[in-house]
Amino acid sequence: MTRRTLIIATVAVLAIVAVAAVSLYFFGPQHRQLQTAAQPQITGKAQVGQPAPSFVVATTAGLFDLSKTTKPVFLEVFATWCPHCQHEAPIIDRVYRKYRGSVDFAAVSGSDTAMDGTSASSELDVLNWARRFNVQYPVAYDPLLNVANLYLQGGFPTIAIIGRDKKIAYLNSGEIPYGDLTTAIEKMLR
């Protein structure tokens, strides 16, 4: 095989990969899941140091009304299809087991797409997600994405820690290590 043939073959393979990637993204069987995953997420108005926007959600542990809580609050905005949220779930569970007595927890769904990445989100989808990933902390389905529109910071999961003074002490998104979360909580509890 000549060098010229190899170059042509390589360019052809790269062109096929590029065309296949674009085609699969727009028309492939998993195109909706991919398009959802590739989207930059909403950025809400919540900011560290600012008063936490009020919200009420029905969690698996009962009604959660931010304005009526007396403890600090650990809030997660997640999507059931989001792999980072799935990775983060056991970490938040560990945090929940450690601080459930001194901090109120609420995880609220923030996407209109379900776990399979194609169908619409629903309460059942959120409950199935919690069961599948053995989530122990309270979760809530938010059909209007009100909490996401207030708190989401460009990506799932977004985690907010709110002090007793109802000000946001910590706000970040992505896979946040256990140590970072406990440090933020300890700092706020001091």
Partner 1 sequence: MAISVLIVRVFLGGLLLVAGAMKIGHPAELAASIAGFRLLPAAVVGPLALALPYVEVLLGAYLVVGLFTRTVAAVAAFQFLCYGGAVASAVLRHIPANCGCFGPNDTAVADWPHVAFDLALAAASGFIVWWAPGAFAVDRRMQSA
Applying CB under 8 A, the residues found at the interface with partner 1 are: 3, 6-7, 10, 13-14, 17-18, 20-22, 24-25, 30, 33-41, 81-84, 87, 117, 154-156, 172-177, 180
The minimum distance between CB 84 and partner 1, in angstroms, equals: 6
- Six-digit token pair at 183? 């440090």
The minimum distance between CB 154 and partner 1, in angstroms, equals: 6
The minimum distance between CB 165 and partner 1, in angstroms, equals: 23
Which residues, in sequence order, are CB contacts of 157 under 8 Å at separation 6+?
A: 76, 77, 78, 79, 82, 84, 85, 88, 173, 174, 175, 176
Question: What are the distances in angstroms from CA 88 to CA 77, 78, 100, 181?
Answer: 11, 10, 17, 11
Residue with smaller CB distance to partner 1, 69 or 178: 178
Residue with smaller CB distance to partner 1, 90 or 100: 90
- The beta strand positions in 87-167, using DSSP E, are 104-109, 139-140, 158-162
Residue with smaller CB distance to partner 1, 5 or 70: 5
Residue with smaller CB distance to partner 1, 57 or 95: 95
Evaluate whether 85 touches 78 at the Cβ level (below 8 Å). Answer: yes
